[in-house]
Each structure stands twice: as C-alpha cells, then as structure tokens.
Structure 1
Amino acid sequence: MISEQELAKLSYPDAPKIVSETIPGPKAQESLGESFEFESMARGGGRFPFVFSEGKGATVRDPDGNVMIDITAGVAVNSVGRCHPRVVETMKNQMETLMHASDISNVKRTELAKKISTIAPPGLRDNCVTYFTQDGSGAVETALKFCRKITGRTQVVAFHGAYHGVWMGGNSLTTGDQYRKGYGPFIPGVIHLPYPYCYRCCFGLEYPSCNLQCAKYVDYVLNTPYTGADDVGALIIEAQQGEGGYLPPPPGYLEIVKKACEKHGALYISDEVQAGAGRTGKMWCIEHTEVKPDMITWGKGMGGDVPMAGLTIRKDLAEQIVDHSQPNTWAGNAVASAACLTNIEILTENDRALINRAAELGRDIREMIREGSSDIRVIGDVRGRGLMIGIEMVEDRETRAPLGGDGVGQIVMGMLNRGMLMVPCGRFGNVFRFMPPLVLTRDYARKAVEILLEVARHV
C-alpha cells in the first residue's frame, strides 16, 4: 500500500501557486517568443501558452515561478511522475557506465526485453520478443512492415478517431485532419472503420440495446465477400482510444473484433502507447478484456522522462522476420533502458500497488466530476478507465453539440490562471483529458476537480 504522505513528497508541496500577474508571465512570454521564432510550430504543442521550466511528480513550474498541478503527465508519459528520484538515480548511475551502444546488444536493453516478456499481456507473456524504438510512431511503422512480411498481405484495418503516429505509415492509419490534410497520398490499402463512440454512435444506437452493432460491422467487413477487404494482413486498434476522445470500448467489443481477425487470418495489434504502462488500472489496457493480441506497440509511460518505445511480438511471428532488416541506431539506448526498467519496477512493486491505486482513484475522480457537474451545462459526458478520463464539453446537453473553440480556449486559460495544466483532445477538440501522473495525490486530485468544475461553471 502506498501512503498519501509518501506520494506527496514526490511533488512540489505548494501547488497550485500563481505568482505572476498574467499567465504566461513575462519570462514565459519571452521564452515563447523565441520558441515561435526558432522552432517549427508543426510540433504537437504548437503555440500552447505555457513553458515548462521544472517538474516534480504531479506538479510543474514555469520560468516565472508559477506552480501548476499537472493533469497532462506529458501526454500520458510521466506515469511515475516527473523526475522520480529513483529514476534519476538510475540514470545517473547508468550514465557513468554506458549510454549509447549502437544497434548492438547491451546489458540493459537485453535485461529490459527479458522483463517485458514477463509483464506482457496474456498471449504474449513469456512467449514474445521486443523490437525497440524511440517513440510510438516508430513502433507502429515497424508493426506495419513486419505484418506485411509475416502475412504476405498488404491491407490493414484502422479506425475512425485513431492516432497511431505521424510518420507516413502511421499517419495513413491516423485520422485527424490536421495530420493528414495536404500531406497525402498515404500508403495504399488502409481501411478505416467506426470506433465505438457510445456518446455519439454513428449508427444512432445505444448500448447495450445496440447489441454491439459496431463490432459486428467489423466482422461484416472482414468476413463478407465484396467489401473490398480481401487482403487484410493486420488490424490495429487502441484498447481505449486516446486522441480520438478518450473512448473506452463497451464490454465485449474487442472480443468480437479479435474473433473477426482470426476468421479472416489477420493479425491483431493492440496499440498501448497511450493507454499502457498502468494508466487504465491495468499494466496494459487490453488486459481489461479476454483478448490475446498478436503484437502490442508501447511507449510513453514506459520510458517516462526519456524516449523509449517498442513493438512486442509473439515469438513464432518474430521468427519470420529477416535478421538485420530493420536497423535503428538509437534503439535500446542503455540509459533509456535502465530508466524503463526502474519505471516498470515502481509500477509493479508491492503487487502493482500504484497501478491498482490508479484504478481506484480514477473511479473516485469520475464520480466527483459527475456529482459536481449536475448543474454545469457544458459537461456532457465523463468516461474512461483508471487515470485515462475524458470529459466531453458541449454547447447543449440535449443536442450534444460540441463546445466550440472559443469555449474550449476559455476553459484552458481558466484552468491555467488557477494553476492547473490540462489539455484537450477529441474529434471536435472538445474533450479534456484527465491523465495525470499515477503519483497524483488525492489532495491534488480533489483540487484539480474543483478547479475544472469552477472554470466550466463560468463558461
């Protein structure tokens, strides 16, 4: 059991604390001006009005000394918190021994591959190998390449609302307009199908009376003649959709999809980049189901403060991949591998206490938001698992019309001005994601919910 007192020591004790007259303050504004001049704004954060200067646990500080409660975790990266002292110590020790080792075996990367085999989800556990990359995009690119080699097929199924990276292969699977418009043509053979979005069902149905029509449609496309899905080698799906709106699929959905893949002869890839590493109250989000994936892509929270990602694939499938066919100079960096091992240790020690706490705290946070928002007309839906919670903002609860950009911007700035860092996602850009470090204290969780509700009430 982890005490709240222990967790509190990992973060700054005085959040939220606003010391500048405006957010961003003068020092942050100067830094932003230089960033806009010398950096490409193609980056994901673009012109977001905040500058990171320091980070500790579930809190961050800007150059002006403002201290924020961090509900972003670096976009679900800092599962054990920013600059966790044990991770920092591990990295310091490793830096004195070995850092870069090229794309050749080093002790730490091998130790990490062995460890991942023991914690992989059922179907892969103790029966897998791992290919290391630096980010989730690289893991997805590798999965696409390997699937073509293994199956001899060229088509791949992905889903509406998907985010699988922005390199050319992954970008072909990703559906966000800002990532696609003007960048095509993409790789051929990608088939996009509806992801379950129960709040806005594309079939106009309601769960559970819908009888999982969306899952049955996947089976229909894969296993009915004349649908055009005649050469599908793989299906890739997020076990809880991230950028598409923090959407957990209804119970039974993924099981139907997996059976459809087996019937067709397609490989099942579970994208765990954002939902893995304990975020949803399980080590892997797919573990909320009975599905045994053929591969998983992972990243973000596994490396935490350093770039570390990979593709973990069943052994019999990996044996079909030609040696030396996917070089990656920086993969399995010894410092990143050591940090990842310590992150895993923190997440899984004491019978996965931190992960189990995420499940419990997430339930409490969702309940707090639901109870506190009964009179707030802009909060339409609260959903998710563990500390992967989506709060969908609407203009009107009856019509469910998405809250527009001006309203979303007011909420972002309202929270920043009160000392809370939280960012939106979703197909309409109107879903705020509660994705803090798993070390967020209950006190800070309560303060964050109070700030969110206060700001939303004034929009």
Structure 2
Amino acid sequence: MINEKDLAALSYDEAPKMVTKVPGPKGSEVLEDSFAYESMARGAGRYPMVYAEGKGATVKDPDGNVFIDITAGVAVNSVGRLHPRVISAMQEQMGKLLHAGDMSNIKRTELAKKVASVAPPGLRDNCTTYFTQSGSGAVETAIKFVRSITGRSQIVAFHGAYHGVWLGGNSLTTGDQYRKGYGPFMPGVIHLPYPYCYRCCFGLEYPSCKLQCAKYVDYVLNTPYTGADDVGALIIEAQQGESGYVPAPPGYLEIVKEACEKHGALYISDEVQAGAGRTGKMWCIEHYDVEPDMITWGKGMGGDVSMAGLTLRKDLAEKVADYSQPNTWAANAMTCAASLTNIEILTENDKALINRCAELGEEISAQIREAAKDIETIGDVRGKGLMIGIEMVKDKESRTPLDGDTMGGLMMDLLNKGIIMVPCGRYGNVFRFMPSLVLTREHAHKATEIFLDAVKKV
C-alpha cells in the first residue's frame, strides 16, 4: 500500500500556483535566447514555457509559477523528478566512476541482470541487453540485429507508429512531420493498419469485427504474392504513443504473434513509451498473452537521465557478431545507478507503485468518461494505467477532429491554470494524461477537474 502523504512529500504541495501569465518576463527572456541559438527541429522547441526546477510530479518556471505536470517529460519521469533515492544513488556513484567507454563496469552489469529479472515472460532471465542512450538507438540496433540474426531485410511496422526519428526508426515511423522532406527512407518496410478502433479503417466495430485487422496481418505475412517475402521482424507498440494513445484491443496481438511465428519473423514489442510501469504493468505487452522475441525500452527506465536498451532472447543474441555494434557513451555508471534505483522503486513491495498506477488510471479514466457524457467535444477516452488518451472532436456524431487552433488554445488555457498537458494523435487532437506515477490522488483529480472545466467551455 502506497502512503499518499509520502508521495505528497515528493512534489511541491502548492501546485498549481500561478503568479504570472505564461510565459512570464523571465521565461520570455530564456525563450528568446532559445529561439535564437537552438534548433527548433526538436519536438517541443516552441513550447511557450521554460522549466526551471522540478520535484516529483510538479515543476516551476523561472517566474515562480508552479505546475502539476501531466506529461512527466513525455512519459519519462515514472518515479518523479529528482526522487531522493535516485539522486542519492547518482551522487554516490559520481564519487566512484562515471564514464567507462564500452567496457564493463559494475553498475552496467548489475543493470543488465536487473533488466533480465523484470523482463516480460519469454525474456525473463533468458535474455541479453544491449544498452543505448535513447529509444531511437534501441530501435536502430534492433533493425541491425534482426538482419544479422534472420538474414532477412524486410520489417513490418504499423500506421500510426512512432519508433524514433533516425534513419531506420524514421522509416518505421509514419508521422508526416517526421518524414516529409527527409526521404527516401530505408527500403524493405511494410506498413499495415493498426487497430485504431475509434477510427477503424475497415469501417468495423470491435468486437463484432472479429479482429479483421489482425487477420489482415496474417494474410499479408502468410499469403503468396503480397510482397512480404523476406520479413525478418514485426515491430509494434502494444499501446501506440504519439499517434493518440491507442491500445491494441484484446486478442489482437495474440493473432499477430501467431502470424509472425508462421512466417518465421521475430516479434519486437516497442516499450519505450509504454514500459516502466506506465500502463499498470511493468511492460505493456504483459496485458496480452504474447511473449516477445525482443523489446526496445527507454524513457521511464532512466527517468532524469538518459538510459535505453534492446533486450532480446539469449539464443538470438548469440547469433550477433561480437564487436559489431560499438556505442562509446552507453551505460554510463551513473546513469546505470539511476536506472537501477528507478526499477527498484517501481518493483518493490510487490510492485505497489505500478499497481497503484493501474488503480489511479482507472479512477481518472472513469472520472473523464462520466463527465464526457455531457461534453460534446470528448469523443473517446482510452488507454491503460496512467497512459490515457482523450480524443477531442467537434461533435460526437461526426467525430471530426478538433482543429489545431482550438487544441492550442486549450493547451494554453490549461498552462495558465497551472496544468501542463500536451496533445498528440494523428490529427493532433488527443490530450494525453501521462503523469509521473508518484502523482498524488489530490493532484490527479485537481488536474482532471481543471481539464474538464476547460473543455466544457469549448
């Protein structure tokens, strides 16, 4: 059982507290320099606030405004910002060793063993981990390893996928803003429909659809003359992130995994955004009866520091040539110490924090669904744990996505009320509820009430 008072001590108790409009005078000065000296190609380059301090599930800007952060640094700070135990572990390690190159260090090996012990079924205590600094790096490594292991060059990915923005990962990703003007991309990628039930491309409804979208994956992989004749792997998010927080419906991934096995293709579960306890289980794939051959992970596993990796079955790892994938800066001893502590906090006391995530997520989802009955602009509420997508529409009947200007106005309205929420989705019309798992119930319900009050006025 998690003590709410203990969680409250991790965050600023006065949040939300607004003393200026956003951005305030000091924040505006920083933003002016940022726009002048930094590339705005980064994802949130022109986001109109500046982070100055962080604590738990709350942050401050340079002008003294205090916010409830419903983004967790884009699903990164699972145990909150500056968790005292994580900071203590980092400080202790900083006095011993930081950089060790690609060579072994004590914390690196400890982390590899820890990841093996908490990996999903099929990989648990039967896996090898390759460390990287980001989820993009993990996906790039997966692509390279798949080719070496299988001798095949094709990879199946899905509409709505986000697997990074480097060359290989960007070839798997389908967001227009990441692709337009950057082609040509890596050949051999086959994109198939993801089960976006609210906007089914087949015009069907779950469960009467009998999972035709999953059967279509099987058709493409295991029917002659479909062009899928050299598929080495299929990569999929059990709950898509950037395209709108869309979870796969029950039964879908099981059919997809069976189709992979028939074809002889490896199954890669991308857990970069949905892993580290965010969906109410350590890994999102654990909500399904599927054993992946590989997982890519990152974000919440490192929290305040950069840590990511590719974890694959031992028998597959043995087929990858030694010395074929150097990475000088991966698995710094301090980042490993931080990641080890993050995992300990998430999994201790029989995964109490992760179990609370499932419970609190259901509370918030239920609160929004109940209110949505009387709010014409909330079209769908979906997701698992504290990975909740709220799809905004002009009206429930047409399901026309709410336009960008209105979404931007809502985001600024929330920001000026001390709530940091950012949109995602194929149409940019999905607000995502993805706070730190240490968010108190008081802050969670306060943020939800402020959000609902804002959307009622649209």
Q: Same fold (TM over 0.5)?
A: yes
CA distance in 2, matches of 1:123, 1:88: 33
- Separation (CA, whole Å) in 2 of partners of 1:232 and 1:278: 31
- Separation of aligned partners in 2, 1:285 and 1:101: 32
Question: Secondary structure of the residue that 1:55 maps to in structure 2?
Answer: strand
Alignment partner of 1:68: what SS? strand
Matches within 5 A, 1:4-19: 4-19=4-19
Q: Deviations over 1:48-88 (max 9, x none)?
A: 11110000000000000000000000000000000000000
In structure 1, the residue matched to 2:295 is 296
- Give the secondary structure class of the aligned counterpart of 1:360: helix
Which aligned runs of 4 or more in structure 1 are off by greater than 2 angstroms? none
Q: 2:191 maps to what in 1?
A: 192
Which residue of structure 1 aligns with residue 283 of structure 2? 284
The residue aligned with 2:439 is 440
Instruction: Return the letter of the residue paired with 1:17.
Output: K
Letter in 2 for 1:8: A
Mapped to 1, the partners of 2:311 and 2:200 lie a distance apart of: 32
SS at structure 1 position matched to 2:229: coil
**Map of 1:38 onto structure 2:** 37
For residues 182 and 410 of structure 1, the distance between their equivalents in structure 2, rounded to whole angstroms, comes to 28
- C-alpha distance in 2, partners of 1:267/1:450? 44
Give the superposition deviation at 1:372. Answer: 1.7
Name 1:347's counterpart in structure 2: 346
Please name the residue that 2:253 is paired with: 254
Distance 1:373 1:161 in 2: 25
Match of 1:332, as an amino acid? A
**How far has the Cα of 1:257 moved from its partner?**
0.2
Residue 242 (structure 2) aligns with: 243
SS at match of 2:236: strand
Map 1:182-221; keep pairs closer than 5 Å.
182-221=181-220
- Which deviations, in whole Å up to 9, do the C-alpha atoms of 1:288-327 show, x marking residues without a partner? 0110000000000000000000000000000000000000
**1:46-445 correspondence runs (5 A):** 46-445=45-444
Q: Show structure 1 runs of 5+ residues with no match.
A: none
Q: Following TM superposition, by how much is the alpha carbon of 1:374 offset from its aligned partner in structure 2, in angstroms?
A: 1.9
Q: Secondary structure at the match of 2:239?
A: coil
Deviation at 1:373, TM superposition (A): 2.3
- What RMSD, in angstroms, separates the aligned Cα atoms of the two structures? 0.5
Q: Offset at 1:410?
A: 1.2
Q: Provide the C-alpha distance between the structure 2 equivalents of 1:47 and 1:377, rounded to a whole number of angstroms.
A: 30
1:427 shift after superposition: 0.2
1:2 equivalenced with 2:2 (yes/no): yes
C-alpha distance in structure 2 between counterparts of 1:333 and 1:453, whole Å: 43
Q: What are the superposed Cα offsets for residues 175-231 of structure 1, whole Å, 9 maximum, x if unpaired? A: 000000000000000000000000000000000000001100000000000000000
Aligned-partner Cα distance in 2 for 1:86–1:19? 31
Distance in 2 of aligned mates of 1:349 and 1:375: 40
1:357 positional shift: 0.2
Counterpart residue identity of residue 35, structure 1: S
Q: CA deviation at 1:46?
A: 1.9
Instruction: Specify the code of the residue in structure 2 equivalent to 1:9.
Output: A
In 2, Cα distance between equivalents of 1:246 and 1:313: 25
Amino acid at match of 1:345: E
Aligned to 1:28: 27
Q: Distance in 1 between matches of 2:398 and 2:277?
A: 35
- Three-state SS of the structure 2 residue aligned to 1:11 is coil
Give the match's secondary structure for 1:332: coil
Q: Distance in 2 between matches of 1:261 and 1:61?
A: 47
Percent identity between the two aligned chains: 76
Which whole-Å deviations, capped at 9, do the CAs of 1:93-149 have from their partners, x for residues lacking one?
A: 000000000000000000000111111000000100000000000000000000000
Return the offset for 1:391.
0.2
Secondary structure (helix, strand or coil) at the match of 2:247 reads coil
Q: Which deviations, in whole Å up to 9, do the C-alpha atoms of 1:154-185 show, x marking residues without a partner? A: 00000000000000000000000000000000
Distance in 2 between residues matched to 1:407 and 1:395, nearest whole Å: 10
SS at 1:195 equivalent: coil
Output the CA distance in 1 between the equivalents of 2:178 and 2:49: 23
**Amino acid in structure 2 at the alignment position of 1:193:** L
Partners of 2:396 and 2:288 lie apart in 1 by 31
Instruction: Work out the CA distance in 1 between the residues paired with 2:239 and 2:404.
Output: 25
Q: CA deviation at 1:376?
A: 1.4
Q: How far apart are the structure 1 equivalents of 2:235 and 2:189?
A: 11
Q: Secondary structure at the match of 1:390?
A: strand
Q: Secondary structure at the match of 1:142?
A: helix
Q: Normalising by the residue count of structure 2, what TM-score does the alignment of the two structures yield?
A: 1.00
